[in-house]
Chains A and B, each alone.
Chain A
Amino acid sequence: MRDVIRIVVSLFGVYIILKSWSEYKAKKESWIMLIFWTFIWLTVIVFAFFPSIVDYILGKFGTSKVGIGTFLGIGMVVLLFISYRLYIKSERIERQMTKLVQDLALKDLPRKKDNKKN
């Protein structure tokens, strides 16, 4: 089971790194974001193969033997926070885009005054 998880995580990680690379090549993403996502997903792959590194790193910060469960829990909270931020941003962008499109559509409409003249 552990090997299956490692293979799935690796394939998923490699896919995202390749996708990020192709986005960079298509000039849709900056090189900083390419490095960021590559680093994040390489780290995830390394953790999948050597989970003891998590304990080692946490130990360095003075937390002794918290285990992979705690680490995943913290990860989940971080992901939820990121989802919340993305939700807020996408909502704002959608609202702004809607307003822009509606204002453009209404731009050439004859106003009440002009209308009464006809």
Chain B
Amino acid sequence: MNNTLAIIIPAYNEGTVIGKVIKSLPKKIENISKIFIIVVNDGSVDDTEKQAKKCSNTIVLTQILNLGVGAATYTGLCAASKLGATVAVTIDGDGQHDSLDIAKVISPIIHKKANIVIGNRFMLAQTIPFQRRILNYLASLLTYVLYKVRINDSQTGFRAYDEKALRFLKITSNGYEACSELIGEAKTHKLSFVEVPIKVRYTKYSMSKGQHISKSLDMAVNLIFNSLRRLK
């Protein structure tokens, strides 16, 4: 019961939805004695920071420049570690994830079954846009080629980490390629992981955010360069 949970929300220009996302988060979770909500405002130019600060019990960290979701996630993980959290979970700031799934995602960590839990959008029968399916398939394939780790949903932002993972994981990629880099890092540090099914809802708003085909080549190049840099 001594588990402390940090819910990390990287946010860039999410002023219209961030308040709603924070309010939807569970106040109590079984086996968790304390919950920190950490919003990492990634250099937003709208009122994301203001809206997040309006919410009670929320720690808002502001990055003065827009670095990307990878860097914002890493800032959140560092914050969780500094706060002494024993479990950290990351969810997207656009409201595409169901906050009720948090308990399910952290469950394998609470029961010491894995160091990292990956929320898999494809394990449940639900509507996922074709573009997202293709992008995820290609990214998962590249992740396998680079890190030799088979994973179905390599690009999900809904993940959970235990204390050991928080201590060892280090993300150097700033953008979306960090999702795959984390898997490589987990392998390097011999951290175990499991995938659990999560619900996802794509709206017009959430489709305008996140990964796009136009950025995918850039992401792939960054990921390849990053994996080359890791070779020692």
Give the B-binding residues of A (Cβ under 8 A). 94-95, 97-98, 101-102, 104-106, 109-112, 115-116
Contacts and interface: CB of A to CB of B under 8 A. Distances in A.
A98 B79 contact: no
B59 interface: yes
Contact of A106 (B65, B78, B84): B78
B63 A112 contact: no
B63 to A, nearest CB: 5
B174 A98 contact: yes
Contacts of A95: 172
Interface residues of B, number: 19
B71 A115 contact: no
Interface string B63-85: 11101000100110011001110
B114 interface: no
Given A95-B172, A98-B67, A106 B83 contact: no
B215 to A, nearest CB: 17
Contacts of A97: 65
A89 B75 CA distance: 24
A116 B63 contact: no
A102, A111, A112, most chain B CB atoms within 10 A? A102
25 contacts: A94-B174, A97-B65, A98-B71, A98-B174, A101-B64, A102-B63, A102-B67, A102-B74, A102-B75, A102-B78, A104-B63, A105-B62, A105-B64, A105-B75, A106-B78, A106-B82, A109-B59, A109-B61, A109-B82, A109-B83, A110-B83, A111-B82, A111-B83, A112-B82, A116-B84
A47 B215 CA distance: 39
A102 B61 CA distance: 9
A61 B61 CA distance: 61
Interface of B: 40, 43, 59, 61-65, 67, 71, 74-75, 78-79, 82-84, 172, 174
Given A104-B63, A109-B79, 16 more contacts: A97-B65, A98-B174, A101-B64, A101-B65, A101-B67, A101-B71, A102-B71, A102-B75, A102-B78, A105-B64, A105-B75, A109-B83, A111-B82, A112-B84, A115-B83, A116-B84
A106 B172 contact: no
Contacts of B64: 101, 104-105
A8 B64 CA distance: 41
A109 B64 CA distance: 15
A58 B24 CA distance: 73
Across the A-B interface, the 9 shortest Cβ-Cβ residue pairs: A112-B84, A105-B61, A105-B63, A102-B75, A101-B63, A101-B65, A105-B75, A98-B71, A109-B79
Nearest to B229: A91
Nearest to B81: A112
Contacts of A109: 59, 61, 79, 82-83
